[in-house]
A and B are shown apart, each in its own frame.
Chain A
Amino acid sequence: MRFNTDEIASVLQQEIEQFDSQVDVREVGTVIEIGDGIARVYGLSGVMSGEMVEFPNGVQGQAFNLEENSVGIIILGDYLGINEGDEVRALGRLLSVPVGDAVVGRVLDPLGNPLDGKGPVDASQRRPVEVIATGVAQRKPVSQPLQTGIKAVDAMTPIGRGQRELIIGDRKTGKTAIAIDAIVNQKTSGVKCFYVAIGQKDSSVAGLIAQLEQHGAMDYTTVIVSGASTPAPLQYIAPYAGTAMAEHFMFHGGHALIVYDDLTRQAQAYRQLSLLMRRPPGREAYPGDVFYCHSRLLERSAKLSDELGGGSLTSLPIIETLEGEVSAYIPTNVISITDGQIYLQPDLFFAGQRPAMNAGISVSRVGGAAQVKAMKKVAGGLRLDLAAFRELEAFAQLGTELDAATQGRLDRGYRMVELLKQPQYQPMHVVDQVLSIYAGTRGYLDQVPVSEVRAWEEAFLKFIHEQRQELWRSLDEKKDLTNEIEAEIKAALSAFQAQYANRAK
């Protein structure tokens, strides 16, 4: 395409004609100390807490500490170009990020600047990064399910729209994988997804974006990246910026899902800032308000009342533990804030159980309210059964003689564990999940060798999709296990068992 320079010139001329000269009135101060992402400024006597300021090289900052003789500024950008004695100007506004459809499908930094080379973010609206969460009257109990597509999660720790479900575990236990699968599964649900990467290696974030693209998830996902090499202030504000973008959809009646990966890093960035600002250190050297740092963030996830459009924001915060230590400071804080947690264990992970979810201590405090009826009927008690199985298994390892009933429970347990294994990037439809788990909990797998369970499941679902489409469709429609449907499932199962036995021979 060739450009018409006259047209461009006319636009410029119009702008110049409409430009009205104004005296620019600003509050200013002088940098007296600079380094490590923070600046101490003399002056700025009228600046407000959280107000944005600008340095001569165009980098922005935020007033963080107001002291008697100086103001502590966190610098949101490259602080190496700022010198002692530079003039700092207050901008008279709060930090905000672009919001709306323009940010969907983009990779942004915490200030809303594009990182994906796809041109500027053409958003007409902005939203303040720090807002107070909606109050009690504006909310409604969580009632709609948010399907993650992961059998173990949807069956045992169901997540509702508006819930905060913590994913916690050691390094390399598949925490991010659960969150990414949940995002991939929102392809047809209309839920907008936000993935906030805090303090991660840029290479792993790039790999993750490539995976999301490959599975078509970038069409409805925004990735906010504040990598390990970015200054602590940006890592600190990244979750709030992502939440502001997600909230926009919630307040417009839509549904959004946000993943904070991970909040441990954010707490560490906040600790760094606070110590540099000479705020008194507390337990594990975190500042006293690190709890508030997380609670005010997670409290912004909500299910709005019908008057406000009934939108929702679901969050999946991730916390990394050290050697399974869940009673450390940050893990206990976030566990107490969220509505449940999915606990991932390295020994289960290495034993091949993926997702490596520990059924005993993983809970969802919203629970059944956020589950489709059919799943509730099928999976009720599954979590406790599995937990009991783990205990029994440990006991059985002692080599004691077991009675038939105990042996039966053990066998059932081995098969359920096998059934709940699921590869990455293969989320399952909730109807498929219901059918699989029905077969498992009702004992249809008891005669199948453990090593064949996954092949059996695959064949069974294929059989349903090919030969019992009616059943699948009516279950999808009603989402309930009525007597007729249950009878049909039973019939389908016995028909399939016969086919499977024949084929095996």
Chain B
Amino acid sequence: MVEHATHPTVLDSGQRHIGTVYAKALLGAAAKAGLTEQVLAELDSFVVDVLERMPKLEATLASPNVPPEAKVRLLDRAFADSMSPVLLKFLKVASKHRRLDSLHAIHRAVHDLYNEATGRVDVFVRTAEPLTDEMRGDLAARLEAQLGRRVNLRATLDEGLIGGIVIRVGDTVYDGSVAQQLRRLRDETLDRTAQSLSQSLERFEANP
């Protein structure tokens, strides 16, 4: 069996598009049943606790060699008791359409769409030192005031920043890190010094 090469940086725009289409359908069905929060939590758990812990199950579900009927039986046996019917039906439909290989994209798209619908925004924060709870609260409050939306703060540690903070909202990055400032200081100083050197070389001449 061919193993699927998965790489965290792979971004397939085609898959993302498929993910958005299925995510819309899932959110619509969940909203109709009045179970949006529950379905979302279950999908999170399904992706994080099941798929990521059991790569073989994921490979089976994604494999085109396994017939869809077998996948449906597998899903029924494993989750019929524990999963809400909306999500289970959705997984079966996705299986019949041979789209179970796009589950990660669907998961991401569901979150993006839900955030958009509820006025939330994911904010990725990188700092050189761990954020305290107090700092987190303060940062979230100030970002919410600034952006006018509720904020999901996702913090990561990056010692390469030396100090300061890098905030990413959507495609925009606010870089207030010490590393960036040092880089800029070096570039500007080099530029200006080279300029003053070429303008008046005699100024730098040592007196004999």
Interface residues of A, Cβ cutoff 8 Å to B: 1-5, 7-8, 11-12, 15-16, 19, 21-30, 32, 42-46, 69-70, 84-85, 89, 119-120, 122
CB distance from A125 to the nearest CB of B (A): 14
CA gap between A26 and B193 in the complex, in Å? 27
Q: Are B198 and A120 in contact (CB under 8 A)?
A: yes
Q: Are B193 and A27 in contact (CB under 8 A)?
A: no
**Residue ID in chain B nearest A120 by CB atoms:** B194
Which of A1, A15, A45, A70 contacts B188, CB < 8 Å? Answer: A15
Q: Are B9 and A84 in contact (CB under 8 A)?
A: yes
- Segment 77-98 of B: residues with Cβ below 8 Å from A: none
Q: Are A30 and B203 in contact (CB under 8 A)?
A: no
CB distance from A221 to the nearest CB of B (A): 22
Q: Given contacts A3-B204, A28-B171, A29-B171, is CB(A15)–CB(B180) below 8 Å? A: no
Which of B13, B172, B203 contacts A26, CB < 8 Å? Answer: B172
Residues from chain B with a CB closer than 8 A to the CB of A43 are 171
Provide a sorted-by-A list of 18 A–B residue pairs whose CB atoms are within 8 angstroms. Answer: A1-B201, A2-B206, A4-B204, A7-B203, A11-B192, A16-B189, A19-B189, A23-B174, A23-B176, A25-B173, A27-B173, A32-B10, A32-B11, A42-B13, A43-B171, A70-B13, A119-B198, A120-B198
Which of A7, A15, A19, A23 contacts B204, CB < 8 Å? Answer: A7
Instruction: With A42-B11, A70-B13 given, name 19 new contacts (CB 8 A).
Output: A4-B207, A7-B203, A21-B181, A23-B174, A24-B173, A24-B175, A24-B184, A25-B173, A26-B172, A26-B175, A27-B173, A28-B168, A28-B171, A28-B172, A30-B11, A46-B172, A84-B7, A84-B9, A120-B198
Q: Given contacts A2-B205, A29-B171, is CB(A19)–CB(B188) below 8 Å? A: yes
Say whether B170 faces chain A, with CB atoms less than 8 Å apart: yes
6 smallest beta-carbon distances between A and B, as pairs: A85-B9, A69-B13, A24-B175, A4-B206, A2-B206, A23-B176
Residues from chain A with a CB closer than 8 A to the CB of B147 are none
CB distance from B38 to the nearest CB of A (A): 31
Interface size class of B (residues with CB under 8 A): 35 or more
Q: Are A19 and B192 in contact (CB under 8 A)?
A: no
CA gap between A28 and B171 in the complex, in Å? 5
Residues from chain B with a CB closer than 8 A to the CB of A44 are 171
CA gap between A42 and B105 in the complex, in Å? 14
**Residue ID in chain A nearest B183 by CB atoms:** A24
CA gap between A24 and B201 in the complex, in Å? 33
CA gap between A44 and B10 in the complex, in Å? 17
Interface residues of B, Cβ cutoff 8 Å to A: 7-14, 16-17, 168, 170-176, 180-181, 184-185, 188-189, 192-196, 198, 201, 203-208
CA gap between A70 and B16 in the complex, in Å? 11
Q: Are B192 and A15 in contact (CB under 8 A)?
A: yes
Residues from chain A with a CB closer than 8 A to the CB of B172 are 25-28, 46
CB distance from B130 to the nearest CB of A (A): 21
Q: Are B175 and A69 in contact (CB under 8 A)?
A: no
CA gap between A321 and B109 in the complex, in Å? 53
**Residue ID in chain B nearest A7 by CB atoms:** B204
CB distance from B7 to the nearest CB of A (A): 8
Residues from chain A with a CB closer than 8 A to the CB of B193 are 8, 11-12, 15
CB distance from B197 to the nearest CB of A (A): 8
CA gap between A69 and B181 in the complex, in Å? 32
Residues from chain A with a CB closer than 8 A to the CB of B14 are 69
CA gap between A15 and B208 in the complex, in Å? 27
**Residue ID in chain A nearest B193 by CB atoms:** A11
Q: Are B11 and A3 in contact (CB under 8 A)?
A: no
CB distance from A309 to the nearest CB of B (A): 28
CA gap between A134 and B109 in the complex, in Å? 48
Q: Are A69 and B16 in contact (CB under 8 A)?
A: yes
CB distance from B171 to the nearest CB of A (A): 5
**Residue ID in chain A nearest B16 by CB atoms:** A69
CB distance from B81 to the nearest CB of A (A): 39
Residues from chain B with a CB closer than 8 A to the CB of A32 are 10-13
CA gap between A1 and B11 in the complex, in Å? 56
CA gap between A84 and B10 in the complex, in Å? 8
Residues from chain B with a CB closer than 8 A to the CB of A45 are 170-171
- The listed residue with most A CB atoms (<10 A of its CB), out of B10, B11, B13, B207, is B11
CA gap between A331 and B9 in the complex, in Å? 45
- The listed residue with most A CB atoms (<10 A of its CB), out of B7, B205, B207, is B205
Q: Are B189 and A15 in contact (CB under 8 A)?
A: yes
CA gap between A24 and B185 in the complex, in Å? 13
Residues from chain A with a CB closer than 8 A to the CB of B8 are 85
CA gap between A91 and B176 in the complex, in Å? 17
Residues from chain B with a CB closer than 8 A to the CB of A42 are 11, 13
CB distance from B141 to the nearest CB of A (A): 18
**Residue ID in chain B nearest A119 by CB atoms:** B198
Residues from chain B with a CB closer than 8 A to the CB of A89 are 173
CA gap between A120 and B190 in the complex, in Å? 12
CA gap between A147 and B198 in the complex, in Å? 37
CA gap between A15 and B187 in the complex, in Å? 11
CB distance from B10 to the nearest CB of A (A): 7
Which of A3, A11, A22, A23 contacts B206, CB < 8 Å? Answer: A3
Q: Are B198 and A122 in contact (CB under 8 A)?
A: yes
CA gap between A43 and B11 in the complex, in Å? 11
Residues from chain A with a CB closer than 8 A to the CB of B208 are 2
CB distance from B191 to the nearest CB of A (A): 9
CA gap between A292 and B28 in the complex, in Å? 47
Residues from chain A with a CB closer than 8 A to the CB of B168 are 28
Q: Are A30 and B16 in contact (CB under 8 A)?
A: no
**Residue ID in chain A nearest B9 by CB atoms:** A85
CA gap between A8 and B192 in the complex, in Å? 11
Q: Are B171 and A27 in contact (CB under 8 A)?
A: yes
CB distance from B176 to the nearest CB of A (A): 4
Residues from chain B with a CB closer than 8 A to the CB of A28 are 168, 171-173
Residues from chain B with a CB closer than 8 A to the CB of A119 are 198
CA gap between A403 and B192 in the complex, in Å? 80
CA gap between A89 and B183 in the complex, in Å? 15
Q: Are A23 and B175 in contact (CB under 8 A)?
A: yes
CA gap between A4 and B205 in the complex, in Å? 5
**Residue ID in chain B nearest A89 by CB atoms:** B173
Q: Are B13 and A1 in contact (CB under 8 A)?
A: no
